[in-house]
Chains A and B, each alone.
Chain A
């Protein structure tokens, strides 16, 4: 089955700096790669996703890149703010219609300091 590895496990940046989180996946059939943000005690919330037919996607301060050949994808947060502090999870999925589970990475705890 799919295996997703995520690095780093913790990341501390100063407000205004950029943060990069990297994930690798094992199943070349995976075609959907969402990123979730989870604040303490709250539900995971989708912040951005990318599909296998796209190499990069951007939404304001957040961007995701995908390298299908190398089987890795990354989350980039620019101009970080204290409210970006949370745990971020990458995930991979092979959505074939009848099979649609997300396999998550182990998470990155991002701390944005003032």
Chain B
């Protein structure tokens, strides 16, 4: 599968624990996005990378959230001290250039208990 891949697909964690998700974009896509989707809602923008530079962050991205894309390829999203309200589907997307289609990964479903 040469699409956007995310790992893990599902994560159950206890409140207060830290979690990290990984996204591997389509090869040579220099743009990478993280979105969060809750049940019955559309994806909400979290952050955006162009190569290794994080160019935009949503106000939704509190100081417990951090994202990296150190070599301009894969990206990680870490949530520290998880809360029940963090339970959602975390989607990653990538695109090749300005104005190009964004392809989504299958997402990581996080459940905080």
Contacts and interface: CB of A to CB of B under 8 A. Distances in A.
B41 interface: yes
A45 interface: yes
Interface residues of A, number: 26
A92 to B, nearest CB: 11
Contacts of B106: 42-43
Contacts of B35: 102
Interface stretch (B12-20, B21-29, B71-79, B97-105): B97-105
Q: Which size bracket describes the interface of B in this complex?
A: 20 to 34
B45 A46 contact: no
B42 A107 contact: yes
Interface of A: 4, 6, 32, 34, 36, 42-46, 49, 51, 89, 91, 95, 97-107
B56 A101 contact: yes
Contact of B56 (A6, A89, A99): A99
A51 B100 CA distance: 11
Given A44-B91, A95-B99, A100 B43 contact: no
Interface of B: 4, 31, 33, 35, 40-45, 48, 50, 55-56, 58, 91, 95, 98-99, 101-107
A6 B41 CA distance: 11
A103 B43 CA distance: 8
Contacts of A34: 101-102
Contact of B42 (A49, A97, A104): A104
4 cross-chain pairs, A with B, having the tightest CB-CB distances, nearest first: A104-B42, A101-B45, A43-B104, A89-B42
B55 A107 contact: no
Contacts of B104: 36, 43-45
B91 A100 contact: no
A46 B105 contact: no
Nearest to A2: B45
